[in-house]
A and B are shown apart, each in its own frame.
Chain A
């Protein structure tokens, strides 16, 4: 939970991320071959969760995933994004693969939502390989303005 507003200002930590990625690329770590295994979490898609006054916004990068192969559900305030990503290829052609960095297979991601989330008020949409889920807040959790009366004198 964070109350600090982060904007697009210079973030030195991003530079470390970039450096790490460049080093990984040099040695080819992080490619599909070592991203295997039952408990390997490296294939779970990256998620953003933002809370504002109206509700919550979940954004998830799912390039190459069809809406048909995607299942989004909320049970007991736990959001589950589940789906399958097929390796894209043209049917009926002979294919020789030279390099494969894009992973394929099934994935699942669960996110615990705060208790203020309203599971009955949810919209989800997919655009350009990015999944966006908007979740409303319970009425009683929305901020209410309370007028403070000032009593004159005493």
Chain B
């Protein structure tokens, strides 16, 4: 589940930064989406592709811009899940604008200990 796919769409998506790590028996994916809350976060799995989309309902304030560094728009990042991950075992939560996803492995991909019997 390492490489993300760059999709060319007509929409301009902001590309959020993410971390991937392995903790215990699952993959942890953390994605930064400031301004997105639980209701505006959309996560779908389709053909081994994991789509994480965050919509920001932020209106640009009226007035004169003295500094403008933040980028406006919606976030999207697409990941490819490999065969060892279990698409049924994905959980997600969001806090402080950071999405934390936990992706489990398939039982067949976990190391299995084989007992040796003595005759």
Answer whether residue B108 sits at the interface, using C-beta atoms and an 8 A cutoff: no
Contact yes or no, B70 A51, CB < 8 A: no
Q: Which residue of A lies closest to B63 (CB)?
A: A52
Bound-state CA distance A56–B65 (Å) is 10
Q: Which residue of B lies closest to A99 (CB)?
A: B20
Answer whether residue A18 sits at the interface, using C-beta atoms and an 8 A cutoff: yes
Chain A hits for B22, CB < 8 A: 95-96, 98
Chain B hits for A66, CB < 8 A: 96
Bound-state CA distance A126–B62 (Å) is 20
**Size band of the interface chain B makes with A:** 35 or more
Bound-state CA distance A25–B64 (Å) is 33
Q: Is the interface of B mostly helix, strand, loop or mixed?
A: loop
Contact yes or no, B70 A50, CB < 8 A: no
Chain A hits for B21, CB < 8 A: 89, 95-98
Bound-state CA distance A56–B35 (Å) is 20
Bound-state CA distance A14–B22 (Å) is 35
Per the CB 8 Å criterion, the residue count for chain A at the interface is 52
Q: Which residue of A lies closest to B13 (CB)?
A: A18
Chain A residues packing against B (C-beta within 8 Å): 1-3, 5-8, 14-15, 17-18, 21-22, 25, 46-53, 56-57, 59-66, 88-90, 93-103, 111, 114, 126, 128-130
Chain B residues packing against A (C-beta within 8 Å): 2, 6, 12, 15, 17-24, 28, 30, 32-37, 58, 60-72, 96-98, 100
**22 contacts across the A-B interface (CB closer than 8 A):** A14-B12, A15-B12, A46-B71, A48-B67, A48-B69, A49-B67, A50-B62, A50-B63, A57-B61, A61-B70, A88-B98, A90-B23, A93-B23, A95-B21, A96-B22, A99-B20, A101-B17, A126-B96, A128-B36, A128-B96, A129-B96, A129-B98
